[in-house]
Structure 1
Amino acid sequence: MFESSLARSYQKRLRHFQCAICVILLSVLLSISLLIMVSYNLSTDPDDGNGTAPRNLSLLRLGVDDDLLPLLNQSWPLDGEMSPTWTVPNLTSQAVAAAVVRGKDALKRRRLMERNLVPLATDSPASRAQRAAATSSSVKPLAETAFAAEEATRALLNGTDLTKSNAGIGLGPSTNSSFSEPAYCRPPVSPCTLSRYRSQDGSCNNLEHPITWGVASTPFRRALPAVYGDGISSPREGVDGASLPSARDVSVTVHRPSYAHDTQFTVMLAVWGQFIDHDITATALSKGENSSSISCCNSNTTHPECFPVRLDKEDPFYQDYNLTCMEFVRSAPAPTCHFGPREQLNQATAFLDASAVYSFSEIKSYQLREGIDGQLRMLKLGPWELLPPSTDPNDGCNTVEMNAKGRYCFESGDDRANENLHLTTIHLIWARQHNRVAAIMKKHNPAWDDETVFQEARRIVGAQMQHITYAEFLPAILGQDVMWALNLTLAEYGHADVYDPSVDPSIANHFSAAAFRFAHTLLPGLIHNVDSSTGTISYTHLHEMLFNPYALYTEKGPKYAMRSAMNTPVHAVDPHITSELSEHLFERSPANASSVTPSPHPLPCGLDLVSLNIQRGRDHGLPAYPAWREHCGLFRPTNFTDLKKIFDPQSFNRICKIYKSVDDIDLYSGALAEEPRGRLLGPTLTCLVADQFLRLKVGDRFWYETSDEIIGFSVEQLIEIRKTTLAGVICANEELLDQAQPRVMEALSATNPLVDCKELPQPDFKPWKIPGPPTPAPPPRKPAPKKPWIKMSKSGHN
């Protein structure tokens, strides 16, 4: 027994000695690895001295794909390429005056021509597509001014051939009020008033550019010069001067239907993407006389703004309908205040300011308000509330059948709210959220008047939308590493003074017309919903949810809409798209066939969304796909062989088949074809989307994390705003919904399980309880230089 005990003691000491040796060896190895990593980081970390280098880039290199490294090494936000130099020599005042006359004459002839045009049938997919763009009647005079200036530019060129260079003519001299131009073509007529609240149209956000940067009804921003077929305005052509392949042929060849789901995310990701897209972009379309719709396929006289999609006689779908033409009208041109190439108009404010809830128009905003206690108007049906009804019979949504039952489509801050059931429901949720917050503000501060309560609630709702976008949506589509590298992450505590007045937050043309349309590929063909009481699963075809918000009139309608968005998985971001969108877009289902103006052809087939997206990019003169990779600092392909390194194999084979040259590839198709390598988006889409959202953060003077004493929230208020989640907002405003996953844009999982709605964190609004109406902080002792026309508000209101 003694010997046995001695042996065990010896073995125990031996094991201890061995463990000690192992620990020492591991420590040495870790120390050496750490020294190597630190020395590598010190030798390679970029530092430009102005804070624009990506944060902790050296650490990100350990986990970021090689494809993204050139992107992260760029200076952010990305610098745009300057417009080419104006090429017209010896420009005299007499030549300009003659050109202006020719431009005005061309506009007169156009107006005469429009009087004889027959608009689209009201109850047609093409008409609903044009209605979906929600072009305001105020756009027509702006577009006419732009058209006249465009024709004058054409006259100034005097037959100069620009098609060979394919580089455009550059921004020309000022038009000097030769035409009836908008206010942004002249210097501000009155000083900005520093207010606690945002203006409705985005003006005076940037005090150096108060009526242009990010303001509603101004041109989109160009990151790369437009590439028009004639250098001025005609749609982009192939590099050899020939026509590009039909957008529909590209759709059929490259963007075939697919049914592979990305089980990591839900349809709510696409719903939120569309909601904020409508908050920051609203491309205006060209209109006929009295802002009527334009018919391009069934008219003897073709409107100059027609750009229909050619359909092959043997098209796999449209041949059954004997169609060879798909309706498409060009975007309305925007006045640029100069002679030069065409630009397009963004009707919305660029900022994430909840204008989808409140509108970017002061007139529309007042129409949506109750006028009492800061509340928005609502339609009360028993114990629940819906958005106020729209009584416009020609809005492309209302039908005779439903109107006879007392059911109408709805009004909201954005006229596109009825486009699909999920979108209408999220509009409803946020209108309820405003009224809920306004009621709490009034309870805490009974002395506040209607205007103060409304503006304070609007201010909070805008902050919550910004927080959800940057805390839930962007990390899902960009990845946490890119978020951190590009300074898109949010502060965990306190304020974050990120505002840079030199950054233009205006929405980029390529972002609106191509890049942010990636979400269309996310949508599945069938939306499913599970009835928790019976366990039964029901399915709805996606196209049946378009312009069909009437399910909200049922007691459980909003609950089912939200539940289906949170339960249905999305497709992956790739060139594939469901046939519900590539064949049946805006097609009226038989149940809703009866309409205000019956169509001569009942139930016409739907449109192809992919074709419309590709056609829109060509309409806007967006440069081809390779130019955008170069813009992002990525490898630029010069031939089809180069694409093998970039595209997935199927997309590579199909794109090589349909395009003649790599420099013909449309941005929309090329960016979607990139291999994402485990991410949601490929490198080019990651770049273009990240750049725009970085601008929306650092270029917004009213960004919710600011410490500005006039417009900022207190530290205590920020703590509560940071408790906001989309799940929490939905649960707080849809009483019939009892459960939700904490991250509703992500699928159910062990780390994202269904929880009781009462368990989700909710902001406490007690920090907003103050003795009187909010007042702005006193003006600074030393006024900022170069801003002599800025003055302070006494009341804090606009």
Structure 2
Amino acid sequence: MTPKITCLLIISVLTCAIQAANYFKPEFSTAISEALHTALISLKKETSNVETSEEAADKLLQLLHKKGYSRSKPDLVEAMLKILRKMNFFGCTKEQRSSYRTLDGSCNNLRYPEWGMSFRPQSRLLMPEYDDGVSSPRLRTSDGMGTLPNPRTVSNVVHANTRKALSVEPKASWHPFQWGQFLDHDLISTPVFTGRDNNPLQCCENLENENLQKMVCNPIYVPTGDSFFKDGTCMNVKRSAPALNLDCSTLSGPRQQENQLTSYIDGSQVYGSSMAELVKLRNKKSPEYMAVSEGDNLPFNDDNSACVLTVKSEKCFIAGEGRANVVPSLASYHTLLVQEHNRIVNVLKGLGWTDPEELFQEARKILIAQIQHITYNEFLRWLLSADTFTRYGLQPTGQGQFFTMYDQRINTDIANDFGIAYRMGHSWIPNRMVLSTEKGENVNKMDPDYKDLDQTYFNPHMLFMRGKTGAHRILKWMSRDNCPLSDRVVEDSARNKLFLQSGISFDLAALNINRGRDHGIPPYWKYRVNFCGENVNNPDSWESLTWHTENSIQLLRNVYASPKDIDLWTGLVTEDNRSQVIGPTLNCILGAQFKALKFGDRYWYERPEPEGFSVEKLNAIKGTSLAALICANLNDPNFLMPQNAMYVKLQGNPAVPCSTIPKLDLSSWRK
């Protein structure tokens, strides 16, 4: 079907593009208008056989290449492609019949094709509360008479570890922490302002324009007498960049933030959220495979500024999501999933699959299904209460049963508030990274295979160690050691030494609080009452904090003038979980988001073909687990792996040889 390009639609695209340029880069306004006008006229002539927005975007890119735009103004091209994708310019004709997802998430929902796609404004559970009603960070107290406490002060009083030793979850392994972060990087990434040529803004210095400073900067000034940072220290914090709505109206409405990723659980951290990203990740000679470097590690990034290299011969890694190098354990998960994709391709080849593109897409579909199944069957079962799991319908269907409650009325865009709430996992961040022995045994602090976490930020060195088997050694360590307790405490590795380089570091707890205020996130109490429906008689009273211990309430009273001032993230992580992993308000917020991601996903793995699988294939997917996924790629049949990898070895969760844990059975895929 030939795309219907009407004059009205062209005018809409041009108008939106010009407004976007005026807002972000005024010098591109005329260029965008001319380039789009020329390209769209050419595109109308040359797209008689084009059916998808992705194919059309590629065609537009080719036309722009011919005219030299992409070489001289890469930002211009990216801006135009974003706008075309956002407006679903070319419809969903082919996607309606496809068994496979688009990379950018478009056309998952055929009624609302833009829902859940990349570069969308984040949704909201509650309306934003900016100080000026439009965009100024929420800094005033609830009564409007005072100023909220400094984020670093809140961090020092409420989130510091005053215990002598690290408190750990008695049953959980490190995998909940790392799966949680890995999953987060599949769901949400909020861009921040950058300076010219993408250089970092220096928000601790006065910019030329005071209004510009307020728009792009929100630094954290360390209070006098801080126990770690010197007096006068300033954390260079940039504001999140505002999103542009599909009708260009955000230029005058309440400020919203953008999600650079697809909202769906679709392996975007493995495959990317655009064709431009995927091209860099596929094996060029055998495109059914994902590219790897020596030792089956992630491919190398041509840009060595993407990480911190301490050994000249080493390289930064590249993955489907830009934060893969943040910590070695995260890079290990990225490595594992790429290895699993390639393993699936090899098995499918043995079952009669031959076409490279079909092999790639089916392996991608299977891998996404594994990610979804592990998330809901293992990770969320560990994280959420049994009541939340049932109330929101998060439990997988039984063997031989399809999920039949897909609802295209559900907006799957990730909620801004969820993005703040989900940072609860920062209390699980370890203070160390360890390469276990080959048998999975821990090493002591004096061993070179033991690293303090602050030594590993953005440094991939550990994955190059032990004959470039570092990823597998880290996976073994995570399977056998306990993660920190889920509570209000953020360890010093992240609270004082986050991204420590050349004596400069950040405080992750303070950043979380600061980010919530930047986004106009309402205070904690409003989520209890207005979103979760809790009956709170007098939210002005400290006695209303019925989900907090006396100790937590006292800490909060030491910094906040009123319980109505408590920031969302701080209020959530100080809730008493009462023998569960997280408290009730977190359960409510997370349950609602994960329900939307399941019920609003047309390609949910439990749905029947063509979007999902046959009964036989679905049963095979449901037979897999994180333990099976790890063991299938460790190449160590004798490693003793806890059967449920979210937990350490326990009574009822024995550690068994990897050789006894069945791999994903792909026999139903035989051609």
With normalisation by structure 2, the TM-score equals: 0.83
Deviation at 1:529, TM superposition (A): 5.8
In structure 2, relative to structure 1, the CA distance for the partners of 1:305 and 1:273 (3 Å cut) is same
Equivalent of residue 500 in structure 1, options 407, 412, 433: 407
Matched residues in 1 for 2:393 and 2:19: separation? 50
Task: State the secondary structure of the residue aligned to 1:586.
Answer: strand
Question: What are the within-5 Å matches in structure 2 for residues 196-235 of structure 1?
Answer: 196-211=99-114, 213-235=115-137
Matched residues in 1 for 2:583 and 2:573: separation? 7
On the 8 A contact 2:21/2:28 being kept in 1, the answer is no
In structure 2, relative to structure 1, the CA distance for the partners of 1:675 and 1:142 (3 Å cut) is farther
**Which range moves more in the overlay, 709-718 or 224-233?**
709-718
Task: State the secondary structure of the residue aligned to 1:318.
Answer: coil
In structure 2, relative to structure 1, the CA distance for the partners of 1:504 and 1:769 (3 Å cut) is same
Deviation at 1:373, TM superposition (A): 5.7
One-letter identity of the residue aligned with 1:201: D
On the 8 A contact 2:640/2:656 being kept in 1, the answer is yes
Equivalent of residue 522 in structure 1, options 428, 431, 436: 428
- Percent identity over the alignment is 33
Give the length in aligned residue pairs. Answer: 586
On the 8 A contact 1:267/1:523 being kept in 2, the answer is no
In structure 2, relative to structure 1, the CA distance for the partners of 1:615 and 1:208 (3 Å cut) is same
On the 8 A contact 1:253/1:654 being kept in 2, the answer is yes
Kindly indicate whether residue 641 of structure 2 is the aligned counterpart of residue 740 of structure 1: yes
Matched residues in 1 for 2:509 and 2:74: separation? 26
Kindly indicate whether residue 273 of structure 2 is the aligned counterpart of residue 360 of structure 1: yes
Task: State the secondary structure of the residue aligned to 2:499.
Answer: coil
In structure 2, relative to structure 1, the CA distance for the partners of 1:534 and 1:740 (3 Å cut) is closer
Counterpart position of 2:56 = none
In structure 2, relative to structure 1, the CA distance for the partners of 1:223 and 1:427 (3 Å cut) is same
Specify the structure having the higher radius of gyration (Cα): 1
One-letter identity of the residue aligned with 1:721: I
Deviation at 1:646, TM superposition (A): 2.1
Kindly indicate whether residue 355 of structure 2 is the aligned counterpart of residue 449 of structure 1: yes
On the 8 A contact 1:640/1:656 being kept in 2, the answer is no
Equivalent of residue 188 in structure 2, options 267, 275, 281: 281
Deviations 1:462-519 (A, max 9, x none): 000000000100000103342123210001212121211111111000111x110001
One-letter identity of the residue aligned with 2:109: N
On the 8 A contact 2:187/2:265 being kept in 1, the answer is yes
Matched residues in 2 for 1:505 and 1:455: separation? 23
One-letter identity of the residue aligned with 2:629: V
Matched residues in 2 for 1:716 and 1:354: separation? 23
Equivalent of residue 342 in structure 1, options 240, 255, 275: 255
Matched residues in 2 for 1:181 and 1:370: separation? 26
Equivalent of residue 627 in structure 1, options 522, 526, 536: 526
Kindly indicate whether residue 217 of structure 2 is the aligned counterpart of residue 314 of structure 1: no
On the 8 A contact 2:297/2:335 being kept in 1, the answer is yes
Task: State the secondary structure of the residue aligned to 1:618.
Answer: helix
Question: What are the within-5 Å matches in structure 2 for residues 661-740 of structure 1?
Answer: 661-707=562-608, 709-736=609-636, 738-740=639-641
Matched residues in 2 for 1:760 and 1:522: separation? 28
In structure 2, relative to structure 1, the CA distance for the partners of 1:536 and 1:311 (3 Å cut) is closer
In structure 2, relative to structure 1, the CA distance for the partners of 1:565 and 1:533 (3 Å cut) is closer
Deviation at 1:678, TM superposition (A): 1.0
On the 8 A contact 2:104/2:117 being kept in 1, the answer is yes
Task: State the secondary structure of the residue aligned to 1:658.
Answer: coil
Matched residues in 1 for 2:23 and 2:664: separation? 60
Deviation at 1:522, TM superposition (A): 1.3
Matched residues in 1 for 2:131 and 2:74: separation? 25
Deviation at 1:269, TM superposition (A): 0.5
Matched residues in 2 for 1:188 and 1:480: separation? 43
Kindly indicate whether residue 201 of structure 2 is the aligned counterpart of residue 294 of structure 1: yes
Counterpart position of 1:486 = 392
One-letter identity of the residue aligned with 1:675: D
Deviation at 1:622, TM superposition (A): 0.3
Equivalent of residue 150 in structure 2, options 222, 225, 246: 246
Question: What are the within-5 Å matches in structure 2 for residues 75-90 of structure 1?
Answer: none
Matched residues in 2 for 1:703 and 1:508: separation? 19
Task: State the secondary structure of the residue aligned to 1:394.
Answer: helix
Kindly indicate whether residue 315 of structure 2 is the aligned counterpart of residue 379 of structure 1: no
Matched residues in 1 for 2:292 and 2:87: separation? 40
On the 8 A contact 2:304/2:315 being kept in 1, the answer is no
On the 8 A contact 1:529/1:568 being kept in 2, the answer is no
Deviation at 1:109, TM superposition (A): 11
In structure 2, relative to structure 1, the CA distance for the partners of 1:665 and 1:696 (3 Å cut) is same
In structure 2, relative to structure 1, the CA distance for the partners of 1:183 and 1:617 (3 Å cut) is same
Matched residues in 2 for 1:453 and 1:573: separation? 41
Unmatched 5+ stretches in structure 2: 1-14, 30-71, 446-450
Deviations 1:523-582 (A, max 9, x none): 232345653669662343222232122221232412321122122212222211111111
Matched residues in 2 for 1:219 and 1:491: separation? 32
In structure 2, relative to structure 1, the CA distance for the partners of 1:736 and 1:553 (3 Å cut) is farther
Matched residues in 1 for 2:504 and 2:585: separation? 34
Deviation at 1:106, TM superposition (A): 9.8
Deviation at 1:711, TM superposition (A): 1.8
One-letter identity of the residue aligned with 2:152: R
Deviation at 1:584, TM superposition (A): 0.5
On the 8 A contact 2:192/2:241 being kept in 1, the answer is yes
In structure 2, relative to structure 1, the CA distance for the partners of 1:249 and 1:536 (3 Å cut) is closer
Matched residues in 1 for 2:105 and 2:439: separation? 46
On the 8 A contact 1:373/1:438 being kept in 2, the answer is no
Counterpart position of 2:299 = 388
Equivalent of residue 515 in structure 2, options 592, 616, 634: 616
Deviation at 1:279, TM superposition (A): 0.5
Equivalent of residue 577 in structure 1, options 490, 499, 502: 490
In structure 2, relative to structure 1, the CA distance for the partners of 1:536 and 1:272 (3 Å cut) is closer
In structure 2, relative to structure 1, the CA distance for the partners of 1:144 and 1:331 (3 Å cut) is farther
On the 8 A contact 1:575/1:673 being kept in 2, the answer is yes
On the 8 A contact 1:373/1:449 being kept in 2, the answer is no
In structure 2, relative to structure 1, the CA distance for the partners of 1:522 and 1:102 (3 Å cut) is closer
On the 8 A contact 2:109/2:408 being kept in 1, the answer is yes
